[in-house]
């Protein structure tokens, strides 16, 4: 169980999440041995305070979530403030409309604005792969790499087109090789699906129903960023 757990971003992005919910998230993440907890940017400070001093648990925050339609300056500020509050990693959503229009130059500019705001933090880029064609996925992955991000992430888990798929993970991995990480997120509700994502090339998973997935029980929880 723990071999899979240590690549999981244990996620809670519900807007109604309370400080008590966040403390419980951290406690469960520590118990399960996950890599990180992933929360909304305004929740980072509460999560950081709840992590025991001896814990290796990382903190990730989402930016421009879930639509990605925010101004780049807003995403950059949101990312910088989250890092100042204690986030180790940022999961940002791309400008999906630009990707669909073939304007990968705008996608790259958007990512680069966030990258420049947080030069020392890990940056994961959520591309909403289910809403893109294969050709668009490849083009966007190339833009992610040019903008010096660290990971391509499949999905927010909130888009009606769907979440992660084995095909998308395989395509992303084939495009970025071993130069970038690949995070599968969105709709990963069983251990078998999680393992299929890893076999396809994912080296990070976004899960909200983490315990059930690790224990092999089906869950209706959404794996969000990245939902992540």
Quick check: 125 and 161 in contact, CB under 8 A? no
Spatial separation of the C-alpha atoms in residues 224 and 228, rounded to whole Å: 2
DSSP state letter for 181: E
- Is 183 catalytic? The answer is yes
How far is it, in rounded angstroms, from Cα 170 to Cα 163? Answer: 14
Structure-block tokens of residue 224: 């969000």
pTM for the full predicted model? 0.94
The single residue of 91, 95, 124, 193 carrying the catalytic annotation is: 91
Is-contact 189 204, C-beta < 8 A?
no
**pLDDT band with cut points at 50, 70 and 90 for residue 224:** very low
Give the model's pLDDT for residue 3: 86
- Which listed residue (43, 75, 124, 183) is catalytic? 183
Q: How many CB atoms lie within 10 A of CB 225?
A: 36
Question: Residue 172 corresponds to which tokens in the numbers above?
Answer: 């992303």
Q: How far apart are CA 120 and CA 199, in angstroms?
A: 29
Q: How far apart are CA 46 and CA 56, in angstroms?
A: 17
* DSSP code of residue 41: G
Alpha-carbon span 159 to 128, nearest angstrom: 7
Mean pLDDT of the 222-227 span: 37
With contact defined as beta carbons under 8 Å apart, do 198 and 207 qualify? Answer: no
Kindly state the average pLDDT of the residues 206-228.
69
Quick one: angle between helices 72-85 and 104-117, nearest 10? 30
| Residue 134 falls in the annotated catalytic set | no
Please state, rounded to an integer, the average pLDDT across all residues of the chain: 94
pLDDT digits (tens, 9 = 90+) for 162-171: 999 999 999 9
- What pLDDT does 220 receive? 46
Residues forming beta bridges with residue 207, ordered by sequence position: 10
Of 3.30.300.30, 3.20.20.70, 3.40.50.300, 3.40.640.10, which CATH number belongs to 2-214? 3.20.20.70
> Is 75 assigned a catalytic role?
no
User: How do the domains of the chain map onto residue ranges?
Assistant: 2-214
Annotated catalytic residue, options 75, 124, 153, 193 = 153
Place of tokens 């790499």: 145
Residues 99 and 68: their CA atoms lie apart, in Å, by 11
Query: Is residue 67's pLDDT more than 80?
Result: yes
pLDDT of 12 over the 60 cut: yes
């Amino acid at each position: 169980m723990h071999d899979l757990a240590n690549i999981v971003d244990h996620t809670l992005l519900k807007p109604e999440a309370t400080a008590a919910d966040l403390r419980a998230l951290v406690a469960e993440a520590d118990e399960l041995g996950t890599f990180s907890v992933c929360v909304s940017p305004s929740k980072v400070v509460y999560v950081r305070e709840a992590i025991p001093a001896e814990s290796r648990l990382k903190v990730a925050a989402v930016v421009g979530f879930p639509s990605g339609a925010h101004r780049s300056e807003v995403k950059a500020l949101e990312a910088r403030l989250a890092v100042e509050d204690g986030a180790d990693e940022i999961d940002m959503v791309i400008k999906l409309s630009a990707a669909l229009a073939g304007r990968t130059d705008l996608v790259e500019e958007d990512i680069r604005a966030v990258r420049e705001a947080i030069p020392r933090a890990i940056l994961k880029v959520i591309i909403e792969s289910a809403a893109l064609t294969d050709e668009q996925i490849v083009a966007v992955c190339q833009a992610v790499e040019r903008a010096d991000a660290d990971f391509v992430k499949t999905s927010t888990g909130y888009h009606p087109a769907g979440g992660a798929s084995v095909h998308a993970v395989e395509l992303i991995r084939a495009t970025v090789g071993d130069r970038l990480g690949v995070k599968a997120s969105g709709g990963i509700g069983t251990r078998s699906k999680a393992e299929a994502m890893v076999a396809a090339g994912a080296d990070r998973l976004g899960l909200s129903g983490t315990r059930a997935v690790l224990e092999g029980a089906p869950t209706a929880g959404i794996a969000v960023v990245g939902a992540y």
